[in-house]
Amino acid sequence: RAKERGRNTFQFFAPSMNTLAVERMVIEKNMRKAMGGTEFQLYYQPKVCLQSGKIVGMEALLRWENPELGFVNPQKSIPIAEETRLIIQLGHWIIESACQQIKRLEQINPDISIAVNLSVVQFNSPDLVSEIKGVIEDTGIDPQKLQVEVTESILIQDSTLAINILKNLNNLGIKVCIDDFGTGYSSLSYLKNMPIDYLKIDQSFVRDLIDPTNETITCAVVALARSLGMKTIAEGVETAEQKKFLQTIDCDEGQGYLFSKPLQACQAEELLLKGTLFS
Ligand code: C2E
Ligand code: MG
Ligand code: MG
Ligand code: MG
């Protein structure tokens, strides 16, 4: 197509494609160098009980500050970590760090849980369950306090394999949360066969609760979860109106800038000392 339009068009496209490819290579190079070092950090964003205002958990979110690249956001770094499979090593560090953080947080609040995001690549790695089991044993945490967040995309692949992995995770005692729920294409009929503890309503529905369609979808997800014996959490809660609506439909938990942005570990500990974010 570029050829049809002549040489100039082709020359216009080629450098921009190069820029992307080069950027990707530079990120990959720096990521390999950063492995095992101190450039990666986990931030923690509170999850709040919408009835009591109490912090009930935290989600670990990856942050990467590189001397050459500055802050690289997860939307950029995670896909490259997945393609290169560096996510396996990085993911192990994330699970390990989160479990160590559970030990610290439980001294402040014995019931607090921490959620880690699992990439599909990690989820499909044959070692995932034994790896998590190993970290639980090494750190000595109560497995009930560890949550994993996975997206619906794991449910649409090979569902029998996914069900088996979820069952094995469930047998370890850890909790499973389906992240960004409502944005994927998971068949609802699969859900009833799966040991899932939480549905996390995607922030795109929460953000525009003014839109009656999103209100309807959010209500329907809460009702679906309840009828399947699962709990619900809404992500991206930014306004008091959104919180109020979620409370009226009995959504269990909320997370978002209204309550707190993701925090450095020490700040998260300080906030947990406060314990309750509204009453
Ligand atoms: P996610 O798991 O759905 O995380 C929610 C994202 O929304 C986070 O962005 C969070 O900082 C942001 N957020 C939280 N509250 C609000 C709010 O009130 N308003 C708005 N507009 N945004 C809010 P973040 O940290 O940039 O992460 C983006 C995505 O990258 C995550 O989406 C997750 O899919 C992935 N990710 C982050 N950390 C990890 C990790 O450690 N491992 C893996 N595999 N993926 C990760
Ligand atoms: Mg998440
Ligand atoms: Mg999410
Ligand atoms: Mg999301």
pLDDT in tens, 16-39: 667 888 899 999 999 999 999 999
Checking if the pLDDT of 250 tops 70, the result is yes
Q: What pLDDT, on the 0 to 100 scale, is given for residue 44?
A: 98
pLDDT band with cut points at 50, 70 and 90 for residue 272: very high
Give, for ligand 1, the residue of 39, 40, 117 to mutate: max count of ligand atoms closer than 8 Å to Cβ. Answer: 117
pLDDT in tens, 93-141: 999 999 999 999 999 999 999 999 999 999 999 999 999 999 999 999 9
- Decide: 256 in ligand 1 pocket, CB within 6 A: yes
Q: What pLDDT, on the 0 to 100 scale, is given for residue 185?
A: 73
- Decide: 117 in ligand 1 pocket, CB within 6 A: yes
Q: What is the mean pLDDT of residues 162-184?
A: 95
Q: What pLDDT, on the 0 to 100 scale, is given for residue 224?
A: 95
- Ranking 84-93, 121-130, 148-157 by mean pLDDT, the lowest is 148-157
- Decide: 62 in ligand 1 pocket, CB within 6 A: yes
Question: What's the gap in Å between 221 CA and the centre of ligand 4?
Answer: 16
Residue 50's nearest CA partner among 226, 234, 270 is 234
**Chain centroid, CA 162 distance in Å:** 18
Q: What pLDDT, on the 0 to 100 scale, is given for residue 189?
A: 77
Residue 196's nearest CA partner among 234, 236, 150, 156 is 150
- Decide: 154 in ligand 1 pocket, CB within 6 A: no
Q: What is the mean pLDDT of the chain?
A: 92
Q: What pLDDT, on the 0 to 100 scale, is given for residue 192?
A: 84
Q: Name the residue at shortest CA distance from atom 34 of ligand 1.
A: 117
Ligand found nearest the CA of 95:
1
Checking if the pLDDT of 255 tops 90, the result is yes
pTM of the entire predicted model: 0.94
pLDDT in tens, 196-241: 999 999 999 999 888 889 999 999 999 999 999 999 999 999 999 9
Atom of ligand 1 nearest to the CA of 119: 44
